[in-house]
Structure 1
Amino acid sequence: MDSRTVGIPEVDGSEQVAVVIDVMRAFTTAAWAFHRGAEKIVLAADADEALAIKASHPGWLALKDGAPVSGFDLVNSPGLIREADLADRTVIQKTTAGTVGALAVVEAKVALCASFVVADATARALADAGAGPVTFVATGDDGRAAEDLACAQYLDRLLAGDRPDPGPYLHRARASQAADDLRLERRRGAHPTDVDLCLEVDRFDFAMKVGLEAGMAVLRPLRN
């Protein structure tokens, strides 16, 4: 299957099939939220929009990067979200890069959000959809984040029908700047297990599909 990898600045609206990748940590956290029972995740463009959506839906929970702040209920950390009871809840997610990338391609014919924890399920969802050329959107560092590029290349091999050893791809992600920042606590709102949780290949058996619902970008689990 033909593919290309771009950063968010290179998204131009021509993408028909897009896989938005944020390994550390947006779409690892999102996968854990679904595992913990979340019904759907509404993606917000910024913190103000997230809080405005929450104000209109008082039962929904708001999540963002960084340390806990007033108005937000959850932190963008897989290590923290895996302890939350989210059964049948709606989460509003706003992150620095991942949600921005998803919003950029939300009108594509097929738009999936991915990380290592849903890699195989993502590849299977694309194959089942009979998807054409795929655009991988590496969201971190304007498309230069080593962990997102490694995940994109791993997914590309899966789409080609290969069964690659994930080890070298995970090694690149573990040695990335983002992983260092998390390990050295340069990012607020991090948990000591975040890096390891972000590097669990195929931890979950669902993909994550984003689309427009009632004018909002909504992420839902997609089970084969």
Structure 2
Amino acid sequence: MNARFLGIAELAETPSVAVVVDVMRAFTVAAWAFGQGAEKIVLAESLDEALALKARRPDWVALKDGALAPGFDTVNSPGLLRSVDLAGRTVVQKTTAGTVGALAVKEARLVLCAGFVVAEATARLLRTHECDSVTFVVTGEDGQADEDLACAQYIARRATGAGTNPGEFLRRADESRAATELREGVRQGVHPDDVALCLELDRFPFAMVAALEDSLMVLRPCAAPSPTDKASV
């Protein structure tokens, strides 16, 4: 498998297969939303679009980065979201990097959104599809976020079926600037457990697939295939 690791701004063309990585915290939060029973997540282009979607569908749950704001139900924190019952609900998510990265590759044939919490399921889905070339979108810090790059590199290695010790990759993420900022309270809308939850390897057994549905980019959980299952992309 030929793996490329690019920042959002480096995406000169639409890849066939893209894995969009945001460890701290968009796609850790998305995984927790599905873990709490959410049916789907709509990835909003802007805060205004998120609020407009929420206004049209008051039963939807809207969340954003930073402090809680009028019109939103909660914030982009796994520690806070894990106590919210989302059974059967639709979540609208707008974040600074993760949702932007997913929308940047919305025309790709296969779009996966990932963090460490769904790493193995994501790698297994890539193996099942026998992808020759995969573009990993490193969303944080203009493509320089080491927690996202470490996670992307780990998934890429696991996608080849190679035995890979996750310790070094998790250590890099734990020592990243994002982790430091979350611990030190530089960012708003943070729970003390957020970093630990973002580094909980393979917490969930599903991958997360994003696709266009009626002009909206919608993220859904996808059961990790068994090692013998195969598909083509």
TM-score range, shorter chain: over 0.9
Q: Secondary structure at the match of 1:220?
A: strand
- In the other structure, the counterpart of 2:52 is 52
Question: How much has 1:25 moved relative to structure 2?
Answer: 0.2
For 1:35, give the aligned amino acid.
G
Residue 129 of structure 1 deviates from its aligned partner by 2.0
Q: Which residue of 1 aligns with 2:92?
A: 92
Offset from partner CA, 1:61-115 (integer Å, 9 cap, x none)? 1100011111000110000010100000000000000000000011100100000
**Partner residue of 1:206?**
206
CA contact (8 A) 1:113 1:209 kept: yes
Q: TM-score, normalised by structure 2?
A: 0.95
Deviation of the 1:123 alpha carbon? 0.7
Corresponding position of 1:138: 138
Q: Which runs of 5+ in 1 are unaligned?
A: none
Which runs of structure 2 are paired with 1:17-166 in the superposition (5 Å)?
17-166=17-166
Please name the residue that 1:11 is paired with. 11
Query: Mind listing any 5+ residue stretches in structure 2 that lack a counterpart?
Result: 225-233
Counterparts of 2:67 and 2:56, CA distance in 1: 24
Assess if the C-alpha contact under 8 Å between 2:14 and 2:105 holds in 1: no
Query: Aligned letter for 1:149?
Result: L
Partner of 2:179: 179
Q: In structure 2, how many angstroms separate the alpha carbons of the residues matched to 1:14 and 1:55? A: 32
Q: What's the Cα RMSD here? A: 0.8
SS at match of 1:136: strand
User: With structure 1 as the length reference, what TM-score do the two structures score?
Assistant: 0.98
CA distance in 2, matches of 1:71, 1:106: 26
**How many Å apart are 1:130 and its aligned residue?**
2.6
For residues 130 and 160 of structure 1, do their structure 2 counterparts lie closer, same or farther at Cα, with a shift above 3 Å needed?
closer
Contact kept in structure 2, 1:8 and 1:104, CA below 8 Å: yes
Asked if 1 retains the 8 angstrom alpha-carbon contact of 2:24 and 2:195, the reply is: yes
The count of aligned residue pairs is 224
